[in-house]
Chain A
């Protein structure tokens, strides 16, 4: 077989082609990436490996490829899964001590869908505990480091996914996005990531954080790669997930190359206010000019309740999480305290030991806003404003086809920099929260570099079920520019 030493330089699409053309085997591919993972353990991106299982899957893919009727586009391609997705062959921790060593008896639907198409699971990726965090510093199993600068955070909560892809430890990864947890780490790590419309991908097997917000999505180095993965991940799951949309699976690669002439790109004034760092603004402005060159027209729009999305999100998400996390009680699975006096004490100590600080904080907030006397003023009020935010987007989409803006107010910060005031960190989610609340699809693609030569991502937000349009816009941009081709030194 050919020299496999540069397999990690290939995009996922290119690798898939090589596999299909039998220029390289799935087994060699898996072995190559496993070596890279092991060689870069200091990044902290991976939590669990199972070489035996991975290679078995690779061999199975090779058998199908050899038989010659390979129709699945991703046969033999290695992908790693965020540890929020439960898997039978790998431990699933959701980044928490509460689930240390947990072996799920079933695979998440998204994992099973990818596996059924011949995708090889390389391992499980580190993340913020129960997907709560924006820097991957809240994992019980250590932080993840940004490959562009290992003294900086990779973003969160899918920090492991973003770091692994950026460092070319895997050509593609799954992540989850509740308030920006795919888009923001993709931005911080200079890669591409997309959160589809709420309900596009099944949530069955995703350890639940905020039920009305959680969505699965891919991270990879190009829009085309993301389109391939997203197509394989999405689809209705009527027997398992009641919030899964009754919308047929779609091939998001079909219109990747469509022309952008006449595309109206809405630019929300509220996304370019005083809080936006100048280096980020410069990179995003540059990208918008590039879009104009590609034939798009910029349209000023307003999303007046952008700022309100912070309290609204941080009422709704913790409320739902506080309830979703009640199942972690030391009775059926997971951690149980070693010493306790009675049942109530067992619950309290188990949960105190099993959960990290951020998780406890959000459980407390969530419990409070649902408690007697506060429900109307907080939770109900937040859900009503949520409707206003969703309506604002519909108003905006009358004037434009998609919305563009920054992903985060700054580039990745230093490890430990924001841990002193965790609540202040919530403010940095301002640009990603609105699309989450409305359930709209949103993606991040790299558009330049900022302070400390750290990557800057731009966000594209589409109307419901318009993932193709987003991926098309990102793909055409990537054909005309080279930001997505840059790679961190040493990887």
Chain B
């Protein structure tokens, strides 16, 4: 499995990461090196196996816990917005979004 520079560009875009050309190059060779590591894994025969999403699911039936429909969180806007880069009239501001 070998990635190309175009793959790197596509993934970086999906991940919203800006990479300088030199970073992209380095990333390309490092990730390709990584995928050499991974090739053996692909060859393993896993037919009939269920993926293990929750670690303890291998020994126990883990089910989603359900909480009572009750409001317990009250207005905490000031503390919650304390770290916001841009706020006005209680709204988070971002560069204009064009639909």
Q: Which residues of B contact A348 (CB under 8 A)?
A: 16-18
B27–A364 CB distance below 8 A: yes
* Per-position 1/0 for A358-389, Cβ under 8 A of B: 00110111011001000001101111111110
Which of B65-99 touch A at CB < 8 Å? 65, 67, 76, 79-86, 92, 94-97
* Per-position 1/0 for B1-42, Cβ under 8 A of A: 001000110011011111100010001001101100110111
Q: Which residues of A contact B15 (CB under 8 A)?
A: 322, 351, 363-364, 367
B41 closest partner in A (C-beta): A311
Q: Which of B14, B49, B54, B79 interacts with A367 by CB under 8 Å?
A: B14
Chain B interface residue count, CB cutoff 8 Å, equals: 51
The bracket for how many chain A residues form the interface is 35 or more
B79–A105 CB distance below 8 A: yes
Beyond A308-B40, A329-B16, A382-B41, is A346–B95 a contact (Cβ under 8 Å)? yes
A-B pair count, CB < 8 Å, reads 169
With an 8 A cutoff between CB atoms, is A271 at the interface?
no
User: CA–CA, A6 to B83, complex, Å?
Assistant: 41
With an 8 A cutoff between CB atoms, is A340 at the interface?
yes
Q: Which residues of B contact A378 (CB under 8 A)?
A: 38, 42
User: CA–CA, A238 to B63, complex, Å?
Assistant: 12
A383–B54 CB distance below 8 A: no
With an 8 A cutoff between CB atoms, is A52 at the interface?
no
Q: Which residues of B contact A238 (CB under 8 A)?
A: 65, 67
User: CA–CA, A385 to B49, complex, Å?
Assistant: 8
Q: Which residues of B contact A331 (CB under 8 A)?
A: 84-85, 92, 94
B86–A386 CB distance below 8 A: no
Chain B interfacial positions (CB closer than 8 Å to A): 3, 7-8, 11-12, 14-19, 23, 27, 30-31, 33-34, 37-38, 40-42, 44, 46, 49-56, 58-59, 64-65, 67, 76, 79-86, 92, 94-97
User: CA–CA, A213 to B58, complex, Å?
Assistant: 14
With an 8 A cutoff between CB atoms, is A209 at the interface?
no
Question: How many whole Å from A370's CB to the nearest CB in chain B?
Answer: 9
State the main secondary structure of chain A at its contact with B.
helix
Beyond A105-B79, A394-B58, is A426–B37 a contact (Cβ under 8 Å)? yes
User: CA–CA, A383 to B33, complex, Å?
Assistant: 22
User: CA–CA, A352 to B49, complex, Å?
Assistant: 38
Question: How many whole Å from B44's CB to the nearest CB in chain A?
Answer: 6
A381–B46 CB distance below 8 A: yes
* Per-position 1/0 for A383-415, Cβ under 8 A of B: 111111011001000000000000000000000
Question: How many whole Å from B28's CB to the nearest CB in chain A?
Answer: 10
With an 8 A cutoff between CB atoms, is A43 at the interface?
no
A389 closest partner in B (C-beta): B52
